[in-house]
Chains A and B, each alone.
Chain A
Amino acid sequence: MIRSKSFGSRLSYIIIWLLLLAMTALCFVPMMNMVSISFSNSSAASANQVGLLPVHFNLNSYSLLLEDGQFWRSFLISIERVVIGTSLNLILSVLMAYPLSKTTKQFAARNIYMNILIFTMLFSGGMIPLFLVVKGLGLMNTIWALILPGAVPIFDVILLMNFFKSVPESLEEAAMMDGASKLTILFKIYLPISVPALATIGLFAIVGHWNDYFSGLLYMNNPANYPLQTYIQQLNVDMTKITDPSQLKALASVSDKTLNAAKIVVSILPVLAVYPFLQKYFTTGLIIGSVKG
């Protein structure tokens, strides 16, 4: 190793470092800029003088945000959605993954179910028929409209199924001898050893529920019931309505940049809160997902 530290290899090492730092900075700077804007005073922000660090550091936008009832209402709706939605996703995934992890000998209808699942994963009736169903069930304007249509996360079921497949058969047989029911086996034997896999899909479900903005737009009949990301998306909307380039410039000056930045920053805090756990598990997710066949 020491011998190989020639000039050329040192140079390439430096280049590698520079490239990596550049790529990292490219990710970091735009996010940091948003954070800095939220802490800057609004005239500096609207004049685009804010770079990596806040200009005239202050907490005005955050104290304004504290009084913004709609923001917090949306925030709570999103939290509620994450809690209920993720729980439901997990319960259903576990219940479905277990039978599907059996062979056709053990569970005759296994392949039929599997094909149904794959078919529904790849095929859908489209937005309008689904809307009609949601509406027909009276779910419009309720949190259930955001949760129930995606209650079965098929991809997660498959992930978990693959994980269950790797659980040694002998464990289950031993429990059967003791007269345990299938459900007991699932909850007493499979679940405890599946914690990493469950954590993975749970975390992804959390992020997925938190980040979805479009179903709020579709199923909520009243902006007061928008989940947080739909609320955030509506802040951007003025930009997308322009039909004339000149409006773009005018908009920049009227929007309340620092307050909006604060809203965005606060909206990603929950993601940051689960991020360390995500980081711990997301490799697991990829690995259990790709089982050699």
Chain B
Amino acid sequence: MHKNKGRTGQLAYHFMMAPGMIFLVIFSFVPMLGIVMAFENYVPAQGIFGSKWVGLANFQYMLQIPDSWNILRNTVIIALGKIIFGTIVPIIFALLLNEIRLKWAKKTMQTIVYLPNFLSWAVVAAIVINVFDYTGPINNFLTGLGMHPIMFLASNHWFRKIMIGTDVWKNFGYGAIVYLAALTGIDPGLYEASAMDGANRFKQLLHVTLPGILPTIMLISALNLGNILNAGFDQIYALYNPIVYETGDVIDTYVYRVGLLGQQYSFATAIGLLKSVVSFVLLISANKLSIKFANMRIF
């Protein structure tokens, strides 16, 4: 009786998993068969299973292209910039906000800075284009100071900085939430104790506050490690132009433009595969690291 019930229980569980799994099979596993394209010279008319097998030729080709290193560099610079500033700025904001006692002011400021996170990149791109326009507000300000206007979005000097800056702009408020939560978790007794020892505010920050949120910082940083090859397709695709390919072209945009628009399907799949593998390894290590150091697991 009992045993039987266990079996139906198991079946019920499988039954519940089934609808989701069907979707995963169709839209995740079947497309994964496409990965074989990375090892062949995919000719659409011959199909995935009829095209010629070329082994690692697409990967070798990737290493030979001078563009490769440039694109890898752009990707890592932009992604790292976003990770670093996307960690520091929210921490600073959370620390500052934590000092404020005025409830309504706190709430208002939070409401405003969280908002950009929920806008699409299509909308944010429109805002960015408006602000950095050749005759837009920033350039008005520059010319007001007697400087020359700058074509920011068509400048290889500025493009990466703007990508990092606007990404931080969009996300720092929301990113601060987790640190604010961590800050409230710090035992107030610790502050009192250090105040007794004559520690000033700065020393308290150094010896109580920062150690208190360190595990959170570690966890978030570890999570971000998996993003080191994700420089943000939606953002860059919405903002770049041929003039800034040199500094703004990242793996995902390159795959899209050269691989997909240029119809080098196998080549595109090969780059995508390599990127997936590297990200996968990074995330698994990140998970290990966060279990080890922060006693938290990502999944």
Q: Which residues of A approach B to under 8 Å, CB–CB?
A: 9, 12-13, 16-17, 19-21, 23-24, 26-28, 30-31, 33-34, 37, 48, 51, 91-92, 95-96, 98-100, 102, 106-110, 113, 116-118, 120-130, 132-134, 137, 148-152, 157-158, 181-183, 186, 207, 210-214, 229-230, 232-233, 235-236, 239-245, 248-249, 252, 260-261, 264, 267-268, 271, 275, 278-279, 282-283, 286-287, 290, 292-293
Stretch at the interface among B16-24, B50-58, B63-71, B76-84: B16-24
Is A19 within 8 A of B96, CB to CB? yes
| Chain B residues with CB under 8 A of A214 | 233-234, 237
Q: B279 contacts A133, CB within 8 Å?
A: no
Q: Which residue of B lies closest to A47 (CB)?
A: B135
CB pair A125–B34 under 8 Å, yes or no, is yes
Residues of A within 8 A of B181 (CB): 283, 286-287
Q: Could you pull out 13 A-B pairs where Cβ atoms are within 8 angstroms?
A: A16-B100, A106-B9, A113-B17, A125-B35, A127-B268, A129-B48, A130-B27, A213-B238, A240-B241, A252-B134, A267-B120, A282-B114, A286-B178
Flag whether B93 is at the interface (Cβ < 8 A).
yes
- Digit string of B282-296 for contact with A (CB within 8 Å is 1, else 0)? 010000000100011
Contact between chains at B29 and A120 (CB < 8 Å): yes
Chain B interface bracket (under 10, 10 to 19, 20 to 34, 35 or more): 35 or more
B120/A249 in contact, CB under 8 A: no
Q: What residues of B have a CB within 8 angstroms of the CB of A207 in the complex?
A: 118
Instruction: Report B-chain residues with C-beta under 8 Å of the C-beta of A27.
Output: 112-113, 115-116, 169, 173
Question: Which 10 residue pairs are nearest across A and B when measured between Cβ atoms?
Answer: A129-B34, A211-B120, A125-B31, A99-B13, A129-B31, A233-B122, A182-B12, A293-B297, A125-B34, A125-B32
Asked whether, in the complex, the Cβ of A33 is within 8 Å of the Cβ of B16, the reply is: no
Are B260 and A128 in touch, CB under 8 angstroms? yes
Known: A24-B112, A28-B112. A34 touches B126 (CB 8 A): yes
Interface positions of B from 114 to 138, Cβ below 8 Å from A: 114-116, 118-123, 125-131, 133-137
B280 within 8 A of A: yes
Q: Summarize B's interface: helix, strand, loop or mixed.
A: helix
Q: Is the CB of A120 within 8 A of B28?
A: yes
Residue from B14, B256, B279 within 8 A of A122 (CB atoms): B279
Q: Residue on B with the closest CB to A118?
A: B299
| Residues A152 and B23 in contact, CB atoms below 8 Å apart | yes
Q: Bound complex: CA of A204 vs CA of B234, how far in Å?
A: 18
Contact of B118 among A12, A252, A275 (CB under 8 A): A275
Q: Is B62 an interface residue (CB 8 A)?
A: no
Contact assessment for B27 and A95 in the assembled complex, using a CB-CB cutoff below 8 Å = no
Quick check: A20 and B96 within 8 Å, CB to CB? Answer: yes
CA distance A213 to B48 in the complex (A): 28
Closest Cβ–Cβ distance, residue B177 to chain A (whole Å): 6
Contacts of A113 in B (CB 8 A): 17, 21
Residue ID in chain B nearest A18 by CB atoms: B96
B153 interfacial contact with A, CB 8 Å: yes
Q: How far is the CA of A117 from the CA of B129 in the complex (A)?
A: 39
A13 to B28, CA, bound (A): 53
Q: Decide if A107 touches B297 in the complex (CB within 8 Å).
A: no
The residue on A at minimum CB distance from B240 is A240
In contact, A123 and B32 (Cβ under 8 angstroms): yes
The answer for the CA separation of A116 and B196 in the assembled complex, in Å, is: 54
Measured CB to CB, the nearest residue on chain A to B32 is: A125
Find out whether the CB atom of A95 lies under 8 angstroms from the CB atom of B20: yes
Contact between B123 and A267, CB atoms less than 8 A apart: yes
CB distance from B199 to the nearest CB of A (A): 12
B99, CB-defined interface residue at 8 Å? yes
Q: Which of B19, B241, B280 contacts A95 (CB 8 A)?
A: B19
Give the Cβ gap from A241 to chain B, nearest Cβ, in Å: 7
Cα distance, A275 to B140, chains bound together (Å)? 33
B212 CB-CB contact with A under 8 Å:
no
Within 8 A of A (CB), among B174-210: 174, 177-178, 181, 201
